[in-house]
Amino acid sequence: MPSYRPEVLDELAIHGIVPKPSTRADLIRHYLSDLYRFEIRRLKRRLLAGEFPKEEYSSRVVHLRLQYPLLSVPVHLWMR
């Protein structure tokens, strides 16, 4: 049975995600993607509420995206 790569488990743990060895990687990726979308929507709401200037929005989106590097890695590479 394939197992998650240690660096993938470390990255997932940053977001509070601790999959069991039997948890399918595609389900974890879907959950991680949902979490990222939630964060993007929250950032947009904060912009619309005037919490920060519009000029900062794109850099905040980039910063947020950098917190989710696994979304750029194909799921089959999450496993060893």
CA distance 39 to 52: 16
| Domain presence at residue 26 | yes
| Domain presence at residue 65 | yes
Residue 1, pLDDT > 80, answer no
Number of domains present in the structure of the chain = 1
| Domain presence at residue 1 | no
| Domain presence at residue 16 | yes
| Domain presence at residue 64 | yes
What is the domain range of residue 46? 6-78
- The pTM score is 0.91
pLDDT per residue over 49-62, tens digit each?
999 999 999 999 99
- 31-35: Cβ within 8 A, 24+ apart: 32/68, 32/70, 32/71, 33/71, 35/68
